[in-house]
Amino acid sequence: MEFNLKIWRQKDARSQGGFIDYNLKGVSGEMSFLEMIDYLNKTLIEGGEEPVAFEHDCREGICGSCSLYINGRPHGPEDLIATCELRMTRFKDGDTIVIEPWRAKSFPVLKDLIVDRYAFDKIMQAGGFISVNTGAAPEANSIPVSKEAADEAYDAAICIGCGACVAACKNSSAMLFVAAKVSQLSLLPQGKAETAKRARAMVEKMDELGFGSCTNTTACETECPKGISMAHIARLNREFLLAGLKS
Amino acid sequence: MSSFINASIGKKFLVSISGLFLISFLAVHLFVNLFLLGGQESYNLIAHFMATDYVISVMEPMLAIGFLLHIIYSSYLTITNQSTRPHKYKIVDQSDTTSWASRNMFVLGGLVLIFLVIHLSNFWFQMQFGEMEYIEYGGVMVQDAYSLVTAKFTIWWQVLLYVAAAGFLGLHLLHGFQSAFLTLGLYNKIWRQRLMVIGILYTIVITAGFSLIPLYFLIAHYTT
């Protein structure tokens, strides 16, 4: 297969970037999207050019490292997968593919397609934890947790923190990420006690870091590689409103 | 409390509460409009009741406050959201992932606001400060609001304006209805579908109601 790639290249955080066109021949349909960029980089290095910088780690949709905005959508044209799980068979021979980094004031571009997602860590540091040591995993029946609560908490816990929600949102809101973290902890006995404090602290930090406010377009939910539901945003709103009433 | 309002969710809370208040007002407004179909006396009497009732006179400034809160806070949030992505994407493909209405609530709200100014100058301003005819019903002198309204609804471009405004309002409601419940946290995986259906039905009733009444008088004018 042959592709016309239009890739954002930026030397460093202070430089002005721009799109560079590459014509790449000999791509196999079985390659993952990241393998296709590996192959491009091989040809660039062989030609004495600087390879395209991009983030990757597990390459099996778990780590949340890959963060490419492909043809107008985070993680590309398929739902419920990360970029590393996207196969080149999804594209047609001769397609033009536009590859951009996540765009948000809170996710500044560091180099080429790599953005600084440290803002998510700062939000987690503000309240995404349980303050006391809850010890090792308890015996299964010592703290009863309903099946519904466990399932719902798991649905939130599968957030990999990739930032696709921010990238997809027209307001660059991090609500789905914050909602997943607050939801996961507030549904389980160990995390429930600090729910109000946690919701307030994490939302305030999210606002402070320059993420936008959610307008419920549901773009984040659709583009989330793990399918985190808007219902978690509703829970975060509920917990935040209750925290406001208690204060 | 100030930290609550300063937070993005606090401001969204005010937009949602005021939005739901305005949504309930629309139902009352449409109910009153239906009296137009009952004839001159029917509508003039309900209009007189609305203008003189104690509860309604208390609700009127609350309605104005509701509008102001909704407009001010949604404008503030929209403006601040503009700065969250200084470098725009080259391509954005959200045609299949989000609804057009959800992405354009501010534009739709702006169009409804422009219509509201025209609507208020057409009727409310006329009834408050204009020269109105009076008719006596059972010894009580009542403004002839019916003639004022039906006269406007015989002008084709005025009717077109009202039908278009009902369409914009409908699109605004289509997203706004369920979005308000989501922001208030009154939303989960089960109620999501239910709220969507209720929101669509409510939107259809409001849009159809506010469109069909002017159309009815326009058609009646040209066919009788």
Q: Which residue in B4, B8, B184 is closest to A213 by CB distance?
A: B8
Position A93 scores a pLDDT of 97
**A239, exposed or middle or buried, with CB in 10 Å at 0-12, 13-18, 19+?**
buried
Distance CA A68, CA A97 (A): 12
Distance CA A163, CA B90 (A): 19
- Starting at the edge strand that comes first in sequence, how are the strands of the sheet with A96-101 ordered? A18-24, A3-9, A96-101, A68-70, A73-74
- Scanning every residue of chain A, which has its alpha carbon at the shortest distance from the alpha carbon of B104? A217
Check: CB of residue B36 under 8 Å from CB of residue B150.
yes
Dihedral pair phi/psi, residue A9, rounded to 5°: -115, 135
Identity at B171, one-letter amino acid code? L
**Residue range A15-43, pLDDT digits in tens:** 999 999 999 999 999 999 999 999 999 99
Query: Is the model's pLDDT at A246 over the cut of 80?
Result: no
Structure tokens at B61: 């400034």
Query: Which residues are within 8 A (CB) of B182 and not within 5 positions of it... i.e. 6 or more apart?
Result: A216, A230, A233, A234, A237
Q: In chain B, which among 112-171 make CB contacts under 8 A with chain A?
A: none
| Best mutation target, A7, A20, A203, A217, to test chain B (most B CBs within 10 A) | A217
Nearest Cα neighbor of A33 from A88, A113, A72 is: A88
Do the Cβ atoms of A103 and B88 come within 8 Å? yes
Q: What is the DSSP letter of B124?
A: I
Q: In chain A, where does the domain assigned CATH 1.10.1060.10 lie?
A: 118-246
Do the Cβ atoms of A231 and B192 come within 8 Å? yes
Distance CA A90, CA A93 (A): 10
- Say which CATH topology domain A3-111 has: Ubiquitin-like (UB roll) (3.10.20)
Provide the domain count of chain B.
1
- Scanning every residue of chain B, which has its alpha carbon at the shortest distance from the alpha carbon of A76? B93
**Residue range A209-232, pLDDT digits in tens:** 999 999 999 999 999 999 999 999
B12: alpha, beta or left? (left if phi > 0; alpha if psi -120 to 50): alpha
B137 forms beta bridges with B140
Nearest Cα neighbor of A230 from B183, B206, B124, B28 is: B183
Position B89 scores a pLDDT of 98
Q: In chain A, which among 71-100 make CB contacts under 8 A with chain B?
A: 71-73, 98, 100
Percent of chain A with pLDDT strictly greater than 70 = 100
Collect all residues of chain B within an 8 Å Cβ-Cβ radius of residue A244: 1, 4, 10, 13
Q: In chain A, where does the domain assigned CATH 3.10.20.30 lie?
A: 3-111
Query: Is the model's pLDDT at A208 over the cut of 70?
Result: yes
Whether residue B219 lies inside any domain: the answer is: yes
Position A188 scores a pLDDT of 94
Question: What confidence tier does A191 reach under pLDDT thresholds 50, 70, 90?
Answer: very high
Position A247 scores a pLDDT of 72
Whether residue B90 lies inside any domain: the answer is: no
User: Does B28 contact A at CB distance below 8 Å?
Assistant: no
Whether residue B91 lies inside any domain: the answer is: no
Nearest Cα neighbor of B186 from A153, A217, A189, A242 is: A242
Q: Which residue in B7, B91, B92 is closest to A203 by CB distance?
A: B7
Dihedral pair phi/psi, residue B196, rounded to 5°: -65, -45
Position B1 scores a pLDDT of 62
**Residue range B19-54, pLDDT digits in tens:** 999 999 999 999 999 999 999 999 999 999 999 999
Secondary-structure percent of chain B, ordered helix, strand, coil, rounded to 5: 80, 5, 15
Q: Which residue in A106, A213, A216 is closest to B179 by CB distance?
A: A216
- Please give chain B's pLDDT, 224 residues, in tens: 678 889 999 999 999 999 999 999 999 999 999 999 999 999 999 999 999 999 999 999 999 999 999 999 999 999 999 999 999 999 999 988 899 999 999 999 999 999 999 999 999 999 999 999 999 999 999 999 999 999 999 999 999 999 999 999 999 999 999 999 999 999 998 999 999 999 999 999 999 999 999 999 999 999 97
Position A10 scores a pLDDT of 98
Q: What is the mean pLDDT of residues A37-57?
A: 98
Distance CA A240, CA A207 (A): 13
Q: How many CB pairs under 8 A join A and B?
A: 137
Question: What confidence tier does A245 reach under pLDDT thresholds 50, 70, 90?
Answer: confident
Q: Which CATH class is domain A118-246?
A: mainly alpha
Position A140 scores a pLDDT of 80
**What CATH number did the domain enclosing B172 receive?**
1.20.1300.10
CA distances from A133 to A153, A188, A201 (A): 20, 15, 20
Collect all residues of chain B within an 8 Å Cβ-Cβ radius of residue A69: 89
Distance from CA of A73 to the nearest CA of B (A): 6
Position B70 scores a pLDDT of 98
- Scanning every residue of chain B, which has its alpha carbon at the shortest distance from the alpha carbon of A97? B91
| Structural domain of B35 | 2-83+99-223
Secondary-structure percent of chain A, ordered helix, strand, coil, rounded to 5: 40, 15, 45
User: Does B81 contact A at CB distance below 8 Å?
Assistant: yes
Distance CA B100, CA B171 (A): 9
ipTM of the shown complex: 0.93
Position A136 scores a pLDDT of 87
Do the Cβ atoms of A104 and B84 come within 8 Å? yes
- From the CB of residue B64, how many other CB atoms can be counted at a distance below 10 Å? 10
Query: Which residues are within 8 A (CB) of A101 and not within 5 positions of it... i.e. 6 or more apart?
Result: A8, A10, A67, A68, A69, A107, A109, A112, A113, A114, A115
Collect all residues of chain B within an 8 Å Cβ-Cβ radius of residue A216: 102, 175, 178-179, 182-183
Collect all residues of chain B within an 8 Å Cβ-Cβ radius of residue A215: 77, 81, 102, 105, 179
